[in-house]
Structure 1
Amino acid sequence: MLRPLVIAFSLVAAMPALAETRVPQTPAEIRFGFAPLVKEAAPAVVNIYAKRIVQERQSLFTSDPFFDQFFRGFGESQPKVQNSLGSGVILSDDGIVVSNYHVVGMSTDIRVQLKDRREYKARVLLADEESDLAILQMEDANTLPFLKLRNSDTVEVGELVLAIGNPFGVGQTVTSGIVSGLARSGVSTGNSRGYFLQTDAAINPGNSGGALVDVNGELIGINTSILTRSGGSNGIGFAIPARLVGEFVNQAREGYDEFRRPWAGMFGQPVDADMADGLGLDRPGGIIVSDLHPESPFLAAGLEASDVILEVDGLPVNTPAEMVFRMSVAGLGNQASVLVAREGEVTSYDVDLGSAPENPPRHTIEAGRKSAIPGVVMSNINAAVVWEFNLPFNIEGVVVETPGAVGSRLGLRAGDVLRVIDGEEVSSTKEADHALRNASKRLTLEVQRGTQRVVMRIRL
């Protein structure tokens, strides 16, 4: 289903050249409207039915609004089948399909139904909750209709578009509108804030994973969310740009099952009007660099704290989400051209894009039965760990990757940094594991959680 937003960060082959776009002009064009376009594009948009099994705890007080708050989490865990309905788009004649993560992520049984009612089983090749995208492979499929990816960086506000999907499960539906906005990064989907195209074409629950196509029948985005007060379409819908979809397909074809983003090793924030005056800029815009990791590729390229990044590969960046998007579509192993303002001068730097380095090695350890906290998974902190858990750049030591059942009950969380165990400072997983195996009956842990120091006193 579509994820509503209630108010309260190389493509397959080469991108096709931008064809001429225009509104219908002649009486014949007006009479037929979008019918020829729909006949061409609609067969490549599919319905997706997904099932997954989740574990739910059953409590005697589930239906009681008062006692449930005290007994939540108690009771035996019972498997429950969750059904999901959404849309998808075929991107190749051999059955590569793109949809949303929240439609198919973690599903064990996926069926894809074409417009002509043919059905195929499908499996997930690559999925990413943060981008809310998933790439599927239909089984035993060939010579299928598919849509071409357009370079979404060439899309302009005001272009006519069609949204095709399966809203509310009523069957394939087509709505029309225009591109209402570009570079929308102030809304959230998946697990974080994203970067979207905005359209006023009606999008409703069930349209998730459906196609947003231009008047040439090329895919410019994947419908993913709406901004709404009521749960229905208010004419503010968002689509994930086709350039990012293309990079997902590339990585899926290369055999990756998780999406790999280039690592920036950098913290930054948007430049507002007050900051622009102090930085000598003629207008607000760009991202000011507040901190750089010692192994950051931006630091290696020559950037410094207080630099303002204006463009990446010739396109403006004004929010961290735009920066993540630009680096993601540039792709790992490539270079990005970064335009930087420093003390009134503008300079271009070439930044090598790669993964966060695993230096020193993380040496992950899972505590055994004789440990004071059996099942806790710990790793040495390096650049990759810092990125995964959003830790401060200057932090060192041991991070809790998974607290385990015992650790969770004691109050440990993923991302906690173990500082002191029973009075002993620990700087490696080897030291932490040894300290936990020799802990006293009154265990004391000193943990850093974000910017706070937490002391835990535990009677074993």
Structure 2
Amino acid sequence: MPALITSIARLVAIAVVCTLAVPSFSAATATLPDFVELSKRLKPTVVNIRTVKNIKPKQRTRRSPNTQQSPYDNFFDEFFGQFFDQNQQRPRREQNLGSGFIISSDGYILTNFHVVNGADEVLVKLADGRELKGQIKGGDEKFDLALIKITDKEKVPALELGDSDKLEVGEWVMAIGNPFGLSQTVTAGIVSAKGRVIGSGPYDDFIQTDASINPGNSGGPLFNAEGKVVGIATAIVANGKGIGFATPINMAKAIVDQLRETGKVTRGYLGVQIQKLTPELAKSFNLDADKGALVADVIKGSPAEKAGIKTGDIILQYEGKPIVEYTELPRMVAATPLDKKVKITIFREGQKSEVVATIDKLKEEAEGEAAAKGEEGQANDKLGFTVSELTKDLAARFGYAEGKGLVITEVKPGSPADDTGIPPGTLLLEINGQRPTTLEQYNKLVAQLKSGDVTRLLVKLPDGSVHYVAMTLP
């Protein structure tokens, strides 16, 4: 009898556990979006975009009258020339397909820049089947965004733009677009990751999703469960499955007024060259965490220099927003209105401080800076490389101007320096914050280094870029 009571008690306990577990499962199921209702409501706001580009024929190169010819040249020119001329003189019309979505009732449409770039004609097909001519009002290649305007007698349905900053990984999303010309295709998935950098440009900040995105989806909207646009389908991994990327809608919201008013985007400019803060570099600066943007160089006369920012500073916050990945800073600065005063939190020599910079206009084509200069000599290779004062011959060898400075002439294979990727011809600007300009100064600094020390160098590579590198001495 006691055994029976014990068994019944176990069954009751299991039943209670199962009963308690059911509500959490039901609650999770209840959060699943109603994709049927969302599709019915949102499809009328999504458009198909067809672009036409007129390709002019290439003219066949004619042989110069002074060129020596063989007896057969005229025959081949007459026989084959007629055939090629007939084909080359016919203009071609190249067509491409993409997607877009209506953001205002008066007919403004957002899409990707690459969808309409170079188009001579833009045709927009609405959900009701009508095809209207579209006018490109503005575009920006670096953000890969474009604004189109259509004119209709009646107001058109428009979407509500959401807040992509509030989007969470694992959240349900839905895409509508025109993949492979299959209009009004609806796919769904989740947010796989945020802040993806895929190498498409300087302002990469993509939302990764497994909602199916294919060629033709470009420019189409990515919705959250509330039916608000949180992203713009932009890119895919060619050989991947379930890997698509969307531009955050907040990036578009920051520039759409500029596109509407001026047709182009004016980006903010701070004037710093930054790099990733590795754990080794963070340790060398006595910073506990490796979060922030390390300033490798400050442009003369820039807002950053005027604000007091220096090489070696670590930017921790921009307008109160923490810099987790260094790639976040260029996007924040670019989206800042001109002449706005911004608060920047920096870390310098073990202390945090705040500076105020006035954002200027970014020049799209940066002017090249003069290379460093120097004299003659040679130093030991304790760090894994050989250093010389920059002579006239070394300057000519590595493509620098003459003057004072130190240049790395050789890098020992397998050394700590070799591991950092420093190539010969690199200019040595700093060692642990000190700037040696002669071999004597360099040797004194190196003599103080001990085995196991983390040494921080500021170098200027042969391509002109300035970087910090850190190495642990053997």
TM range (shorter): 0.5 to 0.7
The answer for the alignment partner of 1:263 in structure 2 is: 269
Deviation, 1:451, is 5.3
Alpha-carbon offset, residue 129 of structure 1: 1.2
| Partner of residue 292, structure 1 | 298
Map residues 69-108 of structure 1 onto 2, 5 A cutoff. Answer: 80-108=92-120
**Whole-Å Cα distance in 1 between the matches of residues 464 and 173 of structure 2?**
46
The answer to whether structure 1 residue 221 and structure 2 residue 231 are counterparts is yes
User: What residue in structure 2 maps to residue 391 of structure 1?
Assistant: 367
Any idea what SS the aligned residue of 2:368 has?
coil
Aligned twin of 1:247 = 254
**AA partner of residue 333 (structure 2):** M
- Counterpart CA distance in 1 for 2:359 and 2:338 is 5
Deviation of the 1:224 alpha carbon: 0.2
Number of the residue aligned with 1:188: 199
Equivalent residues of 2:267, 2:336 under 8 A apart: no
SS at match of 1:221: strand
Q: Deviations over 1:110-142 (max 9, x none)?
A: 011111112221111111111111111112364
User: Contact conserved, 1:94 with 1:141, CA < 8 A, in 2?
Assistant: no
Partner of 2:208: 198
Q: In structure 1, the residue corresponding to 2:335 is in which secondary structure?
A: helix
Corresponding residue SS for 2:361: coil
Q: Which has the higher contact order (CA 8 A, sep 6+)?
A: 1
Please point out which of 318, 322, 336 is paired with 1:316.
Answer: 322
Q: Secondary structure at the match of 1:150?
A: coil
Instruction: Give deviations 1:138-196, integer Å, cap 9, x for gaps.
Output: 123642111122222121211111111111111211111111111112x133x556221
CA shift, 1:108, in A, is: 1.6
Query: Residue 211 of structure 1: CA displacement?
Result: 0.4
Matches within 5 A, 1:105-144: 105-140=117-152, 142-144=154-156
Q: Find the aligned partners of 2:287 and 2:149 in 1 and give their Cα distance.
A: 49
Shift of 1:291: 1.2
- Which residue of structure 1 lines up, in the alignment, with residue 164 of structure 2? 152
Deviation at 1:248?
A: 2.2
Find the aligned partners of 2:151 and 2:25 in 1 and give their Cα distance.
39
Verify the 8 A CA contact 1:327 1:336 in the aligned structure 2: no
| Higher mean displacement: 256-265 or 212-221 | 256-265
Q: How does 1:160-171 map to 2 (within 5 A)?
A: 160-171=172-183
Residues 266-285 of structure 1: pairs in structure 2 closer than 5 A: 266-285=272-291
Task: Give, in angstroms, the shift of residue 100 of structure 1.
Answer: 0.6
1:211 to 204, 216, 221: 221
Structure 1 110/162 Cα, relative in aligned 2: closer, same or farther at 3 Å?
same
TM-score by length of 1: 0.65
Residue of structure 1 in register with 2:73 after alignment: none
SS in 2 for 1:124: strand
Contact 2:294-2:326 within 8 A present in 1 as well: no
Query: Of 296, 301, 312, which aligns to 1:306?
Result: 312
Cα distance change of structure 1 residues 141 and 159 upon mapping to structure 2, 3 Å threshold: farther
The answer to which structure has the higher helix fraction is 2
Q: How does 1:360-439 map to 2 (within 5 A)?
A: 384=363, 388-394=364-370
Determine the structure 2 residue equivalent to 1:38.
39
1:25 CA displacement:
4.4
Q: Which residue of 2 aligns with 1:175?
A: 187
Please give the per-residue CA displacement for 1:35-69, whole angstroms capped at 9, x wherever unaligned. 11222222111100111234564669xxxxxxxxx
Output the CA distance in 2 between the equivalents of 1:170 and 1:82: 19
Contact map agreement 2:342 2:356 (CA 8 A) in 1: yes
SS at the partner of 2:233? strand
Alignment-mate amino acid for residue 167 of structure 2:
V
**Conservation of the 8 A alpha-carbon contact between 2:110 and 2:145:** yes
CA distance in 1, matches of 2:231, 2:92: 33
Tell me: CA distance 1:451–1:304, structure 2 relative to 1, closer, same or farther (3 Å): closer
Q: Which amino acid aligns with 2:138?
A: L
Q: CA deviation at 1:23?
A: 10
Partner Cα separation in structure 1 for residue 267 and residue 146 of structure 2: 15
Please identify which structure carries the higher strand content: 1
Amino acid at match of 2:50: Y
Q: Which residues of structure 2 form unaligned runs of 5+?
A: 1-23, 62-84, 372-400, 402-461, 466-474
Q: Deviations over 1:197-238 (max 9, x none)?
A: 111111111100000111111111111001232xxx511111
State percent identity of aligned pairs. Answer: 34
Is the CA contact 1:121–1:138 (under 8 Å) kept in the aligned structure 2? yes
Distance 1:269 1:78, change over 3 A: farther
Whole-Å separation in 2 of the counterparts to 1:333 and 1:140: 38
Judge conservation of contact 1:243–1:329 (CA < 8 Å) in 2: no
- What residue identity is the alignment partner of 1:124? I
In the alignment, the residues of structure 2 paired with residue 327 and residue 24 of structure 1 have an alpha-carbon distance, to the nearest angstrom, of: 44
Kept in 2: contact 1:135–1:248 (CA 8 A): no
- Tell me the distance in 1 between the aligned counterparts of 2:25 and 2:305: 48
CA RMSD of aligned residues (A): 3.0
